[in-house]
Each structure stands twice: as C-alpha cells, then as structure tokens.
Amino acid sequence: MITIILIALVAAAVAFGLAYVIIKFMPLKFRWIASLALLILAVLLVYKIYDGIMKPINFNKEKQKRYAKVIESLKVLRDAEIAYYEVMGNYTDKEDVLISFVDTAKRAIVEMRDTVFQVNKGSKWQPVMVDVEKRVKDTIAYEPILLQFEGRDYKNMFLVPGVAGKKFEIQVSSIEKVAGLEVPVFEAKTDKESILKGMDRSLIKQEKEAITADEIKGEYVSIGSLSEVTTGGNWPPFYDKSDAKKDN
C-alpha cells in the first residue's frame, strides 16, 4: 500500500510539472500532443493503482482456495493416523500400510459401566467383606475404520492437491512427555512455495514469512508436530469452519 501511495504522489508531481510546462512554454498548436500524453499517463496511473490494490486481494483469494484443498487432505491424513494410533499404539509414515489399515482394520466399541465388587478388608481368618464400586470397560462390538472415511478421498491423502506428483513429507517419532514416558508423534507437511507456484513472486515471499495469527505461519502448511504432542494444524481457525458446519 505504501508503494501505491508513492507511485501516486510521484505521478501527480510529474503530471503537475508537465501541465506547468505546457501552459508556460508550449505553443498552443502543440498542446494537444501534451494533453494526449497526460491522458495516457493518467490511464496508466489509474491502472497501476488499481492493479496494486487488487493484486494482493486476488492473491489472498486464490491462496485460500489452494490452501483449503491442501488442508482437507491433511485432515484426512491426520484422521487416518489417529485411527492407526488408537488401534496400533503408534503412527506410521508408510503410505501402503496406512491405506491398507483404513481399508481393513476395525476399531473396538467400548462401554463403561459401574460394577460392585466385594473386597476383603479383614484377614484370611476374619474376613470383612466390603462392597467396592469400580468402573469397568467392556468391548461390546467392532466397527470398520472405513466407516469414518466414507466420501473422503483417503486413497490419495498422501498427494498434495494441485501440485502434480508431489506428496506430503511425513515423519514419525516419539518425545518424552514426562520423565520416563515416551509418546509417539507425527508430522505431515508441504511447502507453501509449491502450493502457490505461478503466483506473484513478491507476494509468495511475503506469505512464506507470515507470522500473524490470521495466517498460516512459516514456510509450510503442516499438521502434527515432532516437538510437541499435538495433532493440530498450523492454520488459523477459519479453515475449519466447514467442519464445524458439518458437525452441526
């Protein structure tokens, strides 16, 4: 925006200078040429101002469309990883393993119930039986993992939408959450540069340096983390609005 203002000020100064020269020094019969030049300059100035205003607006609209498709795939990948973790106890970075898991695995459906047990609070020779209530978890059925992915393109969840032949970078590891307790973690990401390919270079550079709360921070669009226990993405909440509507 500052650049646009500077261009406008410089152009206005040039136009004022030309107008002064025309009135002061140019013969009357040649003034139409100068007037035409001023008109062309005015049209160019209006175009530059309009383009300077609309370029970042159009860039933001297009980047959000591209990001939304990438984020949707990352959410499918995240949900598959979480399901895998719930059943297998860890994450995987193997594409064929995760897709096969979604196709064939089943998840236990559990029910919590309160049960009363009798516990001997006395001795073997003088028993004192006391009722103790405990919560018990029972497996009542199994459901296919595939049900969670109906209508979702999990077969292509490793591919970055809109970027031919590119796949998400996926890493799995574990971190120490508390002393002596190792917790599995995973991260899937792709660089903004490839997602925004073909768009304005200067605006892509700015986008890669984004740090504000309403932007996707940094050079990558990612989900999960190798440094903390999370399965969240690094995008702002408005990218999740469609999910909230589905839930309602």
pLDDT digits (tens, 9 = 90+) for 66-117: 999 999 999 999 999 999 999 999 999 999 999 999 999 998 887 777 787 7
What is the number of domains present in the chain? Answer: 2
Same domain, 191 and 76: yes
Q: Tell me the whole-structure pTM to 2 decimals.
A: 0.74
Same domain, 106 and 219: yes
Same domain, 110 and 225: yes
Same domain, 128 and 24: no
What pLDDT is recorded for position 49? 74
Same domain, 79 and 38: no
Same domain, 116 and 127: yes
* Mean pLDDT to the nearest integer, 196-206: 93
Same domain, 50 and 61: no
* Mean pLDDT to the nearest integer, 212-218: 91
C-alpha span between 17 and 25 (Å, rounded): 12
Same domain, 95 and 176: yes
Same domain, 33 and 137: no
Same domain, 72 and 152: yes
C-alpha span between 174 and 128 (Å, rounded): 47
Same domain, 110 and 140: yes
Domain boundary among 10, 28, 56: 56
Is the per-residue pLDDT at 31 higher than 70? Answer: no
Terminal CA-CA length for the chain: 40
> Which of residues 23 and 1 earns the better pLDDT score?
23
How many CA within 13 A on the CB side of residue 107? 18
Q: What residues form DSSP beta bridges with 142? A: 108
Domain boundary among 56, 78, 94: 56
Same domain, 139 and 240: yes
| DSSP characters over 137-174 | EEEEEEEEGGGGGTTS-GGGTTB-TTSTT-B-EEEEEE
Domain boundary among 29, 56, 83: 56
Residues contacting 236, CB < 8 A, separation 6+: 213, 214, 215, 216
Q: Assign residue 180 a region: left if phi > 0, alpha if psi is -120 to 50, beta otherwise?
A: left
For residue 166, give its domain range: 57-247
